[in-house]
Structure 1
Amino acid sequence: MTIKKVLLSPLWALQLLTGAKSFLDNPLIGSRRLNARGLHVKRVKLAASLCAWRRRRLAHKVRPEWRAAFDRDGFVMIPNVVPPEQFPTLRRALLAYEGPAREMRQGDAITRRMAIDPAMLAAIPALRTLLERKDIVALFHYAASFRTTPLHYIQTIVSHDGSNEADPQETIHADSFHSSLKAWLFLNPVAGDEGPFTYVRGSHRFTPERLAWEHRRAQADPHTIDRLSARGSPRVTEAERTSMNLPAPEALAVPGNTLVVADTVGFHARGASARPSERVEIWSYARRNPFLPWLGGDLLSLPGLAERRVNWLWALRDKLEKRIGQPWKPVGVRRSIEDVQK
């Protein structure tokens, strides 16, 4: 064992009790010998058990019909989440807002994000009102399994930008080995053949078949499988999905003003787009250490801090770009639907 490995061993061991998921970066997480003896499956089962325990304590604040749909399917779809008479005004304000934007390319798709930060919230008070609505906050907490404030963005996805590369987000996958929240409030209609959010209903549950699949995939050599799976975001084939007795992926065609909240430990993807298309949404994300037993304690969720986190994260990643990379490139002050870079 090299000196470097000796020095890093305590860190690798501590990461077993965090959300660390890369089979490439941590030789304990990626150990085929340890995973053959059940290490990965034990982490999965413990994280799922703690998530269920936290959600039981959060459930009473969630609308029963929303909670029932989420528990059954792994996601809940809420049409007209903004009162219909208010939505056009909010939509116009969001699409007209100009602010610092960042973009990332994956395959033939370009994603633009604008942080929902203090400046945007001050300019669009109705947006703050929406994000602080008690029923929505309770649902976000339940899906995340923590009382934590998600990171919020205005997100634009342009599909078929002219590149011939495949979009990795169109492959059915799970984000990690444990539950996390993602949410989309679609500002425009999304057709079933224009890059819709796609989900395998019920795939958020760790059934015996899902656990057997987790056990098998954890024993693969991470250097011989696709990079995203090796990094802990596993792709699943149709044959594997069928072996888990799961239904076919379902593309969610939705009208504007529809909120979708999902547990992305379930299998999901961005659906294929039959033509060049543009999707605009309020996108929210939260993922905490799955092994924490408590519900709160997230200091960065405090008012005054929560809405500044995105810009802090981008700035930090800019400083560490040479070490860890920075896929989100600044493109100046833009609108959400204006001149996405090619």
Structure 2
Amino acid sequence: MIVHARFKSAMLAPVHTLQLATSAKSFLDNPLIGSQRLNRRGLHLARVKLAAALCRWRRKRLARRVPAEWREAFDRDGFVVIRDVVAPEEFALLRTAILSYQGEAREMRQGDAVTRRLAIDPEMLAQIPSLRKLLEREDLTALFHYVASFRTTPLHYIQTIVSHDGQDDRDPQETLHADSFHSSLKAWLFLNPVAASEGPFTYVRGSHRLTPERLAWEHRRSLADPRAIDRLSARGSPRVSPADLTAMKLSGPEALAVPGNTLVVADTLGFHARGASETAGERVEIWSYARRNPFLPWLGGDLLSLPGVAERRIGWLWSFRDRFERQLGQPWRRVGIRGPMDHTTRCATPDEEPPSLPL
């Protein structure tokens, strides 16, 4: 058994080495990323600093197309809040079209929360032309590129969050965390108002900046034994405590209670969470996500963002994980044809977060 483990480790060593130059983040799955000896010598900190330097370099070249008000808010806070992002008379029609749409849905349970997603794919875009018009707006595209730090098309979904769905376990998304060691984009266009008691998006203002205090925290956390800390942190999405925030000279988290037709765009290198929901309910949003290899020096070159390809990626990704479920894990379970408000509890609970793909 020991010989087999050593042979397997030796065979995977080139892969683990190459992953250092990618978005790979798991301290558990990669023995180099999780090496306390290498991290004492600065490996994790070097990856953090290099990724941040390249991100600044790319954003500098993308900045001129972003409306100044949005850019200044993002640079200061790490997120942008845009109210009435769609003209009110157009938003009402868009909202009705989205909420009445039905398509192939996937669901995942985390604690007492269920997340349902419908891919914004060619079929949905054909049925809801105003949705395509929104996602192709030049000002929003420029903002998405700036926050992602790449000219890349995000993955777009219609997402429903069902809170307090009959389980006692707490939703892990309610714990403040960063998604990774480098910047990435997430965006939420809320179709309904979200009150402070209804699980609003929560963010620590300015926590996307790599201050000396944040870098010191990054170094300290890299020295922990990944087998002795919580699993999500060990897999590269670190949880942060109030004491950590104080040590980093950061304020407390701010819950963003917003009306419907509000777009929030954030850098998830900053500390964020889903706010606690006091009652059972559903929250529906257009959810967008983009994360690329942080060590790429160029702005574009993403073949998966080409028209005709970009809108099909989610279906391909789901099918790929279905095909290699045993190797990669597949937390997103089929639940048939559903609409955004058609909740079902038949989704599976993943045993753990699947290994992250170094894409």
Structure 2 letter corresponding to 1:168: P
Mapped to 1, the partners of 2:211 and 2:149 lie a distance apart of 19
**Aligned pair partner of 1:204 in 188, 201, 208:** 208
C-alpha displacement of 1:7: 1.5
- Report how many residues are paired: 342
1:123-142 deviations in whole A, cap 9, x for unaligned? 00000000000000000000
Is the contact made by 1:99 and 1:333 (CA closer than 8 Å) also made in structure 2?
Answer: yes
Which residue of 2 is the match for residue 132 of structure 1? 136
Mapped to 1, the partners of 2:343 and 2:47 lie a distance apart of 44
Which residue of 1 is the match for residue 67 of structure 2? 63
C-alpha displacement of 1:5: 1.6
Mapped to 2, the partners of 1:31 and 1:11 lie a distance apart of 15
C-alpha displacement of 1:338: 1.1
Report the 3-state secondary structure (helix = DSSP H, G, I; strand = E; otherwise coil) of the residue aligned with 2:45.
Answer: helix
Structure 1 letter corresponding to 2:147: A
| 1:52 matches 2:38 | no
**Aligned pair partner of 1:278 in 275, 282, 290:** 282
**Aligned pair partner of 1:96 in 93, 100, 103:** 100
| 1:86 matches 2:90 | yes
Mapped to 1, the partners of 2:19 and 2:326 lie a distance apart of 23
Is the contact made by 1:191 and 1:254 (CA closer than 8 Å) also made in structure 2?
Answer: yes
**Aligned pair partner of 2:24 in 4, 9, 20:** 20
Q: Which moved more, 1:167-176 or 1:320-329?
A: 320-329
Structure 2 letter corresponding to 1:300: L
Mapped to 2, the partners of 1:169 and 1:301 lie a distance apart of 28
| 1:262 matches 2:266 | yes
Mapped to 1, the partners of 2:305 and 2:312 lie a distance apart of 10
Which residue of 2 is the match for residue 329 of structure 1? 333
Mapped to 2, the partners of 1:190 and 1:341 lie a distance apart of 23
Mapped to 2, the partners of 1:331 and 1:281 lie a distance apart of 19
| 1:341 matches 2:351 | no
Unaligned 5+ segments in structure 1 are none
Which residue of 2 is the match for residue 106 of structure 1? 110
Report the 3-state secondary structure (helix = DSSP H, G, I; strand = E; otherwise coil) of the residue aligned with 2:125.
Answer: helix
Mapped to 1, the partners of 2:165 and 2:146 lie a distance apart of 36
Structure 1 letter corresponding to 2:235: R
C-alpha displacement of 1:198: 0.2
C-alpha displacement of 1:341: 2.2
**Aligned pair partner of 1:165 in 160, 163, 169:** 169
1:137-181 deviations in whole A, cap 9, x for unaligned? 000000000000000000000100110011100000000000000
Alignment of 1:176-187 (within 5 A): 176-187=180-191
What is the RMSD computed on CA atoms of the aligned residues? 0.8
Q: Which runs of 4+ in 1 moved over 4 A?
A: none
Mapped to 1, the partners of 2:178 and 2:37 lie a distance apart of 23
1:99-118 deviations in whole A, cap 9, x for unaligned? 00000000000000000000
C-alpha displacement of 1:297: 0.4
C-alpha displacement of 1:10: 1.2
Mapped to 1, the partners of 2:243 and 2:336 lie a distance apart of 44
Mapped to 2, the partners of 1:341 and 1:51 lie a distance apart of 40
Mapped to 1, the partners of 2:57 and 2:162 lie a distance apart of 39
| 1:314 matches 2:318 | yes
| 1:7 matches 2:11 | yes
Mapped to 1, the partners of 2:40 and 2:326 lie a distance apart of 35
Unaligned 5+ segments in structure 2 are 347-359
Which residue of 2 is the match for residue 217 of structure 1? 221
Which residue of 1 is the match for residue 351 of structure 2? none
Structure 2 letter corresponding to 1:175: D
TM-score by length of 2: 0.94
Mapped to 1, the partners of 2:176 and 2:38 lie a distance apart of 27
Mapped to 2, the partners of 1:178 and 1:97 lie a distance apart of 35
